[in-house]
A and B are shown apart, each in its own frame.
Chain A
Amino acid sequence: MARPHDALACEEALDLLEPYLDGDLPAGEMDRVRRHLEACPACAAELALAARIQRELRALPQPDCPPEVIERVRRAGRGEVVPFPVRERVPRRRIAAAAALVALAIGGGSLFVHIQHVQQQQEQVAQATREARLAMAYFGKVTRKAGLDVRDEVLEKRLVAPVARSVSRSLGNTDGAEPRKEL
């Protein structure tokens, strides 16, 4: 049977499910969507999913901020200097300091290890690892864009060879030796 001229295709209906749920469509559109859903089990199942998503979102908890955060704000408001808790924002230099603190504790004759410092240190190193990878990724991104792409010989020619040649010249070699792989 041919579709009535004003009937919706599934693709259109799926686009309108959320405003339909919210009652945000003009009356005529609401009717068209409703008629389509009555005739199309697949789209009706999508509507059920859309409704479930909305229900679940509305049921998500809104947690209170831990009281110690408010306390820190209160103390700051009274003029006390209240630092943020030591977390990822610890400057990189502090990693060495934290490790040194541990070494002192051990060297002092005690085998007491401040596990919390160690855990913070591990998190900070993990964060540093991610940042180092990102730095390398940006190097790759820029060199790719500049046409210094994955073909090693391009990078070799553009970076390694000129350096090797200049090294060779400075060592007094004039026979145009092959570029060294290691520098």
Chain B
Amino acid sequence: MSVKPLVLTIVLLCLAIPGRAQKPESQPGYVPIEELGLFPRDKLEVEINLDGPVLHMVSAMTRKDDPGFSAVMDGLKSIQVQVFPVKGTDTAALKTRIDRAVHWLEGHGWKSTVRVREQGQETYIYLKQTGDQIEGLTLLSLDPKDEAVVINIVGRIDPAELGRLGQSLHVPQLKNVPEGKKKPE
């Protein structure tokens, strides 16, 4: 690629960025999952924090090869994910913290749209609306035999599109990755 088009691209991106640079914390659909203290951070299996400017660039980068994915990303202002492996931990304490998070959501105007409890597994999906627009989605789930997951997505959300995208992707498996840090002797 010659320098000029590259320079133009960067300038355009820079112009685009300020409009998206609103802090995610100020968005109605944002949930401060770190503050909710659901899981110990040093034991997380997965932790993802992506904000608006980055998601906009992700959308731009994938527009040609994956327009469906790009379109979903285009409307988003932040994605937060925490995954905590549950095996061997106190699931009762975990359930209590999840209940507390559910109460927090309900106390902050989030509406429950999914509550599934089956065979010990629990899944909650809450939506935050402003008028007729969904501005936030929060998913909480606990599978006592596997993992607990919290996902908060902020932005222009179409839950059906999100669901279709999610169903088309798979979480890669890591085989028998050893457990976390041991203290040095």
Are A159 and B163 CB-contacts (below 8 A) given A125-B54, A128-B57?
A: yes
Q: Does A111 lie within 8 Å of B54, measured CB to CB?
A: no
Are A146 and B116 CB-contacts (below 8 A) given A118-B10, A129-B61?
A: yes
Are A132 and B46 CB-contacts (below 8 A) given A163-B113, A181-B160, A182-B158?
A: no
Q: Does B81 lie within 8 Å of A145, measured CB to CB?
A: no
Q: What separation, in Å, do the CA atoms of A144 and B149 have in the docked complex?
A: 13
User: Which interface residue of A150, A159, A163, A171 has the most chain B CB atoms within 10 A?
Assistant: A159
Segment 100-140 of B: residues with Cβ below 8 Å from A:
111, 113-114, 116, 118, 121, 123, 125, 127, 129, 132-134, 139
Q: Does A144 lie within 8 Å of B167, measured CB to CB?
A: yes
Q: What separation, in Å, do the CA atoms of A129 and B58 have in the docked complex?
A: 5
Which of B13-21, B26-34, B36-44 has 4 or more CB atoms under 8 Å from chain A?
Answer: B13-21
Q: What separation, in Å, do the CA atoms of A173 and B127 have in the docked complex?
A: 21
Q: Does A131 lie within 8 Å of B50, measured CB to CB?
A: yes
Q: Does A142 lie within 8 Å of B123, measured CB to CB?
A: yes
Are A139 and B151 CB-contacts (below 8 A) given A125-B58, A129-B61, A167-B132?
A: yes
Are A113 and B61 CB-contacts (below 8 A) given A143-B166, A163-B113?
A: no
Q: What separation, in Å, do the CA atoms of A99 and B116 have in the docked complex?
A: 44
- Chain A residues near B143 (CB-CB < 8 A): 145
**Nearest A-chain residue to B61, judged by Cβ:** A125
Q: What separation, in Å, do the CA atoms of A141 and B72 have in the docked complex?
A: 18
User: Which interface residue of A129, A134, A170 has the most chain B CB atoms within 10 A?
Assistant: A129
- Count how many chain A residues have C-beta atoms less than 8 Å from C-beta atoms of the other chain: 52
Segment 121-152 of A: residues with Cβ below 8 Å from B:
124-126, 128-129, 131-150, 152
Check if A53 is an interface residue, CB within 8 A of chain B. Answer: no
- Chain A residues near B57 (CB-CB < 8 A): 95, 125, 128
Q: Does A128 lie within 8 Å of B167, measured CB to CB?
A: no
Q: What separation, in Å, do the CA atoms of A131 and B172 have in the docked complex?
A: 12
Check if B11 is an interface residue, CB within 8 A of chain A. Answer: yes
Q: Does B51 lie within 8 Å of A93, measured CB to CB?
A: yes
Residues of B within 8 A of A (CB): 3, 6-7, 10-11, 13-14, 17, 21, 46, 48-51, 53-55, 57-58, 61-62, 69, 72-73, 79, 81, 83, 111, 113-114, 116, 118, 121, 123, 125, 127, 129, 132-134, 139, 141, 143, 149, 151, 153, 157-160, 162-171
Lowest 4 CB-CB distances: which A-B pairs, in order? Answer: A140-B166, A137-B169, A146-B123, A139-B166
For the complex with contacts A140-B165, A158-B125, 8 further pairs of A-B residues with Cβ separation under 8 Å are A95-B53, A99-B10, A103-B11, A103-B14, A129-B58, A136-B69, A142-B141, A183-B159
